[in-house]
Structure 1
Amino acid sequence: MLPPPGPGCIVIGSHLHGPAEKNKVSPFLVSTGVVALAEIGDKTQLLSLVLAARFKKPVPIILGIFVATLVNHGFAGAVGEWLSTAVSPAIMKWAVVASFIGMAIWILVPDKLDDEEANARRKFGVFVSTVITFFIAEMGDKTQIATVMLAARYQDFFGVVAGTTLGMMLANVPAVLVGHKFAGRLPTRAVHAVAAVIFLVLGVITLMQ
């Protein structure tokens, strides 16, 4: 007869989970949701439309976006976790609150794609061109900054990076596949307003904790 599970054990097929297992759900879901909403109408989504129209090869473009996002957000998540340990908890709390509120305001500003960012490097092939162009466009973008903030807030590198990467793919894969047909029909302002409210709520929650 097996001994009863201890207080920190995870039992397969039951509802008993350790504390770490419970905490992983929220960062992943929050990261997925806010980044997917923030990416609607963002310059990197516009870049996805440009790449799809230029190359007309969705599979290598989607793979390139995935690799570029994973590397970029992996770096951003590492920076966020480092900040959470390098800065005192009190300062970090106010920095995260200010960042969430700032993001709520920033996301309401319409985005545009520069000609240099849209100029994909054809000589490297579709996949490599997508990786390079998308990675550069994502540097300093809303979703990269959001990844830094979320990683600092939750201190869950894998949960946050997995969530933000999934959020990016949820927004960009449809743009690559059928985005040219629906780009003008998306209620971008309404979506960004919802994302702004979510960032504002995250800031308030962080402040109250």
Structure 2
Amino acid sequence: MFMHTFLLVFIAEMADKTQLMVMALTNRYRARTVAFGMILGVLTISGLSVLAGDIIGDFIPMQIVQTVAALLFLFFGLSSLRAEDESGGSQGVNYRFPLISIAGAFLLAELGDKTQLATVAIAAHHQEHFAIFLGAAAGLILANILGIFAGKIIFSHLRENTVKVASAGFFFLFGSINLFETIPFSFPIIVGYSIVLMTTAYIVYSRSRRSLR
């Protein structure tokens, strides 16, 4: 069951929103910090999926989880646009617990995702829970380690401003998708939401750049 679960989760995670989120986080944090935070989130979500996957929805409505995840993505997107001072810190943003922030973001992104649901389904039909846990965790970790390396390689070949806009775009895209899936919007509201989001992003970026001059 280890190999079966590993291959299923690894393939499902490739190009998934959480892998792209991890790639974008490499622009904000050191690769080692992203890796350890991701692994902490992986172990947590894999344990929940195998041991209590079908109970999660009874205690925490999935709509609330997805909404919180969406807001977290949007926050990361806006913070990615903030310029850094000479000491490498973002103006006005204090990341005191990056490991917990990354693990929490990964956990929220994975709740209700196809990889988590696949792990729950496998665990419901087989009794080899420890092997399933190891396979799911290994698949998620390997896929996202590749994402971290890809993020570092891609961002190292882009200009700073391009990196900021690209990483923010990832977070805005998946945050908005999560929000639209959770709360039904009409087309005019979506247009208005997009205008407000882009205007806010432009203001944050412009003020941040001016503060360094």
TM-score by length of 2: 0.53
CA distance in 2, matches of 1:175, 1:118: 20
Question: What SS does structure 2 have at the residue aligned with 1:119?
Answer: helix
Paired residues, what number? 126
1:149 to 118, 121, 146: 121
Q: Which amino acid aligns with 2:142?
A: L
Over 3 Å counting, the alpha-carbon distance change for 1:147 and 1:52 in structure 2 is same
How well do the aligned residues superpose, as a CA RMSD in angstroms? 2.5
What's 1:159 paired with? 131
2:48 to 50, 75, 87: 75
CA distance in 2, matches of 1:80, 1:136: 14
Do the aligned partners of 2:72 and 2:105 also contact (CA within 8 Å) in 1? Answer: no
CA distance in 1, matches of 2:54, 2:124: 5
Question: What SS does structure 2 have at the residue aligned with 1:123?
Answer: coil
Over 3 Å counting, the alpha-carbon distance change for 1:138 and 1:118 in structure 2 is farther
Q: Which amino acid aligns with 2:133?
A: V
Deviation of the 1:166 alpha carbon: 0.3
Q: 2:63 matched to 1:63? A: no
Q: 1:132-187, CA deviations, whole angstroms, 9 ceiling, x for partnerless residues?
A: 1111111111111111011112221110011010000111001112335469xxxx
Deviation of the 1:58 alpha carbon: 1.0
Over 3 Å counting, the alpha-carbon distance change for 1:49 and 1:163 in structure 2 is same
Q: Which amino acid aligns with 1:69?
A: V
Q: 2:18 matched to 1:44? A: yes
Do the aligned partners of 1:50 and 1:118 also contact (CA within 8 Å) in 2? Answer: no
Deviation of the 1:60 alpha carbon: 1.5
Q: 1:32-91, CA deviations, whole angstroms, 9 ceiling, x for partnerless residues?
A: 101000001111101101111222x11121111111111111011013599xxxxxxxxx
Do the aligned partners of 1:31 and 1:164 also contact (CA within 8 Å) in 2? Answer: yes
Deviation of the 1:123 alpha carbon: 2.8
Over 3 Å counting, the alpha-carbon distance change for 1:46 and 1:122 in structure 2 is farther
Q: Which amino acid aligns with 2:138?
A: L
Do the aligned partners of 1:122 and 1:129 also contact (CA within 8 Å) in 2? Answer: no
Question: What SS does structure 1 have at the residue aligned with 2:145?
Answer: helix
Q: Which amino acid aligns with 2:8?
A: V
Do the aligned partners of 2:35 and 2:145 also contact (CA within 8 Å) in 1? Answer: yes
1:136 to 108, 112, 117: 108
What's 2:141 paired with? 169
Do the aligned partners of 1:80 and 1:150 also contact (CA within 8 Å) in 2? Answer: no
What's 2:58 paired with? none
Over 3 Å counting, the alpha-carbon distance change for 1:76 and 1:123 in structure 2 is same
Deviation of the 1:118 alpha carbon: 5.6
Deviation of the 1:124 alpha carbon: 3.6
Q: Give the gaps of 5 or more residues in structure 1.
A: 1-26, 83-112, 184-209
Q: Which amino acid aligns with 1:32?
A: F
Q: Which amino acid aligns with 2:122?
A: L
TM-score by length of 1: 0.54
Over 3 Å counting, the alpha-carbon distance change for 1:28 and 1:81 in structure 2 is farther
Give the 5 Å matches for 1:1-209: 27-55=1-29, 57-79=30-52, 116-117=72-73, 119-120=75-76, 123-179=95-151, 181=153
